[in-house]
Amino acid sequence: MIFNRFKFSRDIGIDLGTANTLIHVSGKGVVLQEPSVVAMDLEEGVPLAVGEEAKLMLGRTPGNIRAVRPLRDGVIADFDAAEQMIKTFIQKCNEGRGILAPRIVIGIPSGVTSVERRAVREAGLAGAREVHLIDEPVAAAIGASLPVTEPIGTMIVDIGGGTTEVAVLSLGGTVLSESVRIAGDELNESIAIYLKKVHNLVVGERTAEDIKIKIGSAFPDDEFDNTSIEVRGLHLLSGLPRSITLTSGEIREAMADPLSKIVEAVKRTLERTPPELAADIVDRGIMLAGGGALVRGISDLLSHETGIFTHIAENPLLCVVNGCGVVLDDFKKLKRVVDTPDFIRNAIRD
């Protein structure tokens, strides 16, 4: 039996995110949470740094080093860098590993094409004996302890770095899903564009993200709207560095457009939901997961716009990776939710 061999390896669940990669090792829990960034030495063609160390290099590298984010909008944009990153992360957290290479479950956006799925699978095979893919909304729902295998309609909104996934789930499967390529990155971009237009100030990707984390908000709050922060950047008119003071109200105005598109995606999915499942969702509410759920007031915005109570998962950042871990721990029961290639499916059946 093929199952007898599984216990010799530590199985791994990966949330391969645009902004962060998280890894769950069976028996250990979440062991790695690092930015999805790789710094490559162009002369040698080898990775210099991966993760947190490489993120510090973004926008600060000399000509012979290139710091890249291998994923854009939830899919692999730079295959070689993604492969190196997955390989390095697996080596980092698979010390003292079993006799066999691990089985891996990777969470990916539900809207990706078959070519993009194959790219993720091939990148994962760099350090594994078999790779299974799971749609991120399904993994997030399992990780948020929603009853996905029961005949109850549940709605999950997973706002990541590159994509927002909206899905209605029931009986372990996806009834409806929508994947929009508007999420945390677009919120950062909208802040950078606003500063350029209104204040003639150019800021980098990291600064825009810091502003969003510190004073970003999605829903009016009289008390918080006056919170201010000092921001440094390059002034376009003088060409010199300069600092300005921003308020939370301004940042909400800057993020209004991408946030309204996320709300529209949720509304579109609700409109297409079958009536029985819609009744369940009204009863149970909408669950928010992913890093975007941490933006202040986003649950209030969705509740206000849809009229359905919206709650945030306990650990929104860890939902997908925890879901991958649960699938690995109970693979026999939950293997229906993963996208398994035919040749592996036949081996498991045998």
Does 174 show up as a binding residue in the annotation?
no
Does 99 show up as a binding residue in the annotation?
no
Residues in contact with 31: Cβ distance below 8 Å, sequence separation at least 6, in sequence order: 23, 24, 25, 93
Does 192 show up as a binding residue in the annotation?
no
Does 124 show up as a binding residue in the annotation?
no
Does 209 show up as a binding residue in the annotation?
yes
SS3 content of the chain, % helix, strand, coil (to 5): 45, 25, 30
Does 291 show up as a binding residue in the annotation?
yes
* Residue whose structure tokens are 């290139």: 66
Spatial distance between the Cα atoms of 266 and 179, rounded to a whole number of angstroms: 10
Does 211 show up as a binding residue in the annotation?
yes
Does 267 show up as a binding residue in the annotation?
no
Edge-to-edge strand ranges of the sheet holding 338-339? 29-35, 20-25, 12-16, 103-108, 130-135, 338-339
> Could you please report the per-residue DSSP string of 72-113?
ETTEES-HHHHHHHHHHHHHHH-TT--SSPPEEEEEE-TT--
Residue 66, token pair as written in the block: 């290139």
Spatial distance between the Cα atoms of 90 and 150, rounded to a whole number of angstroms: 33
Does 162 show up as a binding residue in the annotation?
yes
Question: Which residue, 78, 107, 135, 83, is CA-closest to 12?
Answer: 107
Does 164 show up as a binding residue in the annotation?
no
- Please give the C-alpha separations between residue 331 and each of 26, 105, 132, 263, in angstroms, as whole numbers: 12, 10, 11, 34
DSSP code, position 296? B
Does 292 show up as a binding residue in the annotation?
yes
Please enumerate, by residue number, every residue annotated as part of a binding site. Answer: 18-20, 161-163, 209-212, 291-294
Please enumerate, by residue number, every residue annotated as part of a binding site for ATP. Answer: 18-20, 161-163, 209-212, 291-294
